[in-house]
Amino acid sequence: MPPGPPRRIRDERFSVLAGVALAGFLLVVLGLLRLQVVQREELSRLAEQNRIRLDVLRAPRGAIRDRHGRLLADNQPSFDIVFRPMPAESLSRSRTLIPTDWLLRISSLVQDDTTVIKRRVQEANRTGQTAVLRRNAPYSVMAAVEEMRADLSGVDVQVAPIRRYPEGTLGAQLLGYAGEINDVELEKRADAGYRMGDLIGKTGVERRYEEMLRGRDGAEFVVVNAMGKRVSTLSEGPPRPPIPGHDVTLTIDLDIQRALEEGMAGVEHGAAVVMDPRDGSVLAMVSKPVYDPNEFSRGITYARWRELIASGNPLLNRAIQSAYPPGSTFKIVTMLAGLRNELVKADTHLPTSCSGGYFFGGRRFGCWDKRGHGSLNLLGALQFSCDVYFYQLGLKLGLDRLQAVARAVGLGEKTGIDLPGETRGLVPTKEWYERRYKGGMPRGALLNLGIGQGELLCSPLQLALMTSVAANGGRAVRPHVVMKVQGVPEFRIEKPTEPGLDTSPENWTAVHDAMKLVVDAGTATVVRMPGIGVAGKTGTAQNPHGNDHALFVCYAPTDVPTIAIAVVAENSGHGGSVCGPIAAHVLRRVLLGDSLATAPPKRAAKRDSTRAVAADTLEVAGD
């Protein structure tokens, strides 16, 4: 047997091994000291975060009601599929890898594209905020998620309020809709406390009064297990309940809104506004075509979005965002300007009588009635909407005096209504013509302006405002759709800064008498009502892109006006035969009661003649 190593060598080896063991032990001790002493607070916090999670309690938006308290928008519970990042991922959240099989399973469950799910999960990991993967999930999806949640780390089902519009399409563009906040909106409102998945007003009242309708989210601390599943509510810290948003009461009258919707049922594209001429309260507003805002609350697909846009862009509120030539409804302005500047009186006959046209600058300007109206005074010219009379009056006025009166009654500028996206329309000035045309205003422009054609553009809301100012004798009012905000007693609608139109009582009497003649024995006899005076004006505006637009404005009762209406129907023909019955339906429903307005008016058939007289009503379906 060979001799072993010398004792000295064995001692040296033992010393080395003992030193290695001691060094390892010292490293373990130092590690424990580091974990239990140096990093104690940090690790305790992370451990607590693994056990405790902060859950956001979504605040419901305030309800929207009509002037009588009837519900137009509120909330209902929905089930959202959400992803909650684990807090212990700390600073490496943005670099956390998302397993492909996990991503595919989640995308299949919530029925959304993997790129969308991945982006939302990455954003949640980066910010530590809960991400909504699918809003208002059906029961089948919710059940599938609950069944597989043990294998789907971070995925949960959350109850949240969703916007509901019980009247469906009624007043859709006016109310607007609330949808999930997008990246652009989130970046703009980063300092306002918005989070991913929050609802935000997108259009209409929902958008304009977002700050008041939006509530304040609450929060509670909950105990979770290792998989992130909620076990119980933490008893040490009481929850902070959500604070609902303020309820908003509109000036809209649901009965009038329904009547206007019924009247507009046969119009494919157009808009109408009903206003109280005493204070500018909007009683009803309709834009066609319509959409159902509930679709956007539940979540809309891209295909459905494309379908809506292709159907005539129903999201556009044509009552305030579209502009049309006012046609012969503008003759009210021309008449007022002539009276105010003492160029004509109620009984004034102009030199050239109407024989169906007017010659100016080597060109013939036709009247809508090719047979002519003969010699008319100012009241008769408005009653029968004689173009030849207003051609001459436009020339006598000149541009400055005509556009000054147009702006005084609310045309050519935003009305200041409390809705987003309002158009200004256009009342041209000399400076505008100089920018548009090298030689300034064309010679025949005043003739076209005098009858509401040419470059003039007005929204239906502006036409309703013009009619309201005419009805109340020149006093300026500010159109508005919100009456009060619950819990905000200091809420007020700003008074108009414009002075209105100042002219003599005799001039206003002449305008009111002429507009009443339009209804009693002129181009709008279809609007006549027993025992109630109605004053109005028809209009037919030439449209270079298709058939003429039909327009009609009116107010009633004539002795003490409480309602003003403006109706525009695109590509529909004559204002008296198309828009007049719509206004008549609303007036009968509001002023005479349901018994005399049993059915909405039918769309008038297009006729080849420019004048048609019905034996029973003597209706003149002209301008």
Q: Could you tell me if 238 and 127 lie in one domain? A: yes
Q: Could you tell me if 429 and 341 lie in one domain? A: yes
Backbone angles phi, psi at 559, to 5 degrees: -75, -45
pLDDT averaged per 10 residues in sequence order, the chain, 623 residues: 64 74 77 66 54 69 96 90 65 59 81 81 76 80 78 78 93 93 83 82 96 84 56 60 92 97 95 97 97 87 84 93 96 98 96 95 92 96 97 96 96 95 95 87 91 96 98 96 94 87 96 97 93 95 86 97 97 91 95 62 42 30 57
Q: Is residue 183 part of a domain?
A: yes
Condensed to tens digits (0 to 9), the pLDDT of residues 55-108 reads: 667 788 999 999 999 999 999 888 888 887 765 444 444 445 777 888 888 888
d(CA 334, CA 392): 11
* Domain range enclosing 425: 254-305+319-485+506-596
Nearest to 494 by CA among 424, 414, 554, 423: 414
**What letter would DSSP give residue 589?**
I
Q: Could you tell me if 433 and 577 lie in one domain? A: yes
Q: Could you tell me if 344 and 478 lie in one domain? A: yes
Q: Is residue 129 part of a domain?
A: yes
CATH number of the domain enclosing 95: 3.90.1310.10
Q: Is residue 28 part of a domain?
A: no
User: Would you state the structure tokens that stand for residue 459, as one six-digit string?
Assistant: 């929204």
- The burial of 464, by beta-carbon neighbours within 10 Å (0-12 exposed, 13-18 middle, 19 or more buried), is given as buried
Q: What pLDDT, on the 0 to 100 scale, is given for residue 622? A: 55
Q: Is residue 331 part of a domain?
A: yes
Q: Could you tell me if 167 and 226 lie in one domain? A: yes
CATH number of the domain enclosing 450: 3.40.710.10
Please indicate whether residue 328 is annotated as part of the active site: yes
- The burial of 546, by beta-carbon neighbours within 10 Å (0-12 exposed, 13-18 middle, 19 or more buried), is given as exposed
Q: What pLDDT, on the 0 to 100 scale, is given for residue 186? A: 84
Q: Could you tell me if 90 and 168 lie in one domain? A: yes
Q: Could you tell me if 358 and 444 lie in one domain? A: yes
Q: What pLDDT, on the 0 to 100 scale, is given for residue 125? A: 76
Listed residues 209, 233, 250: the one ending a domain = 250
CA 437 to chain centre: 35
Q: Could you tell me if 459 and 346 lie in one domain? A: yes
Contact residues for 595 (Cβ-Cβ < 8 A; gap 6+): none
Q: Could you tell me if 344 and 370 lie in one domain? A: yes
Q: Could you tell me if 153 and 243 lie in one domain? A: yes
Domain count, the chain: 2
CA 519 to chain centre: 33
Given the residues 281, 328, 385, 572, the one annotated as active site? 328
Q: Is residue 41 part of a domain?
A: no
Q: Is residue 561 part of a domain?
A: yes
Q: Could you tell me if 279 and 190 lie in one domain? A: no
Q: What pLDDT, on the 0 to 100 scale, is given for residue 221? A: 62
d(CA 101, CA 124): 19
Q: What pLDDT, on the 0 to 100 scale, is given for residue 602? A: 53
Q: Is residue 19 part of a domain?
A: no
Backbone angles phi, psi at 458, to 5 degrees: -140, 145
Q: Is residue 20 part of a domain?
A: no
Nearest to 157 by CA among 141, 173, 175: 141
Q: Could you tell me if 476 and 429 lie in one domain? A: yes
Q: What pLDDT, on the 0 to 100 scale, is given for residue 351? A: 94
H or E element in which residue 400 lies: helix 399-408
pTM of the entire structure? 0.83
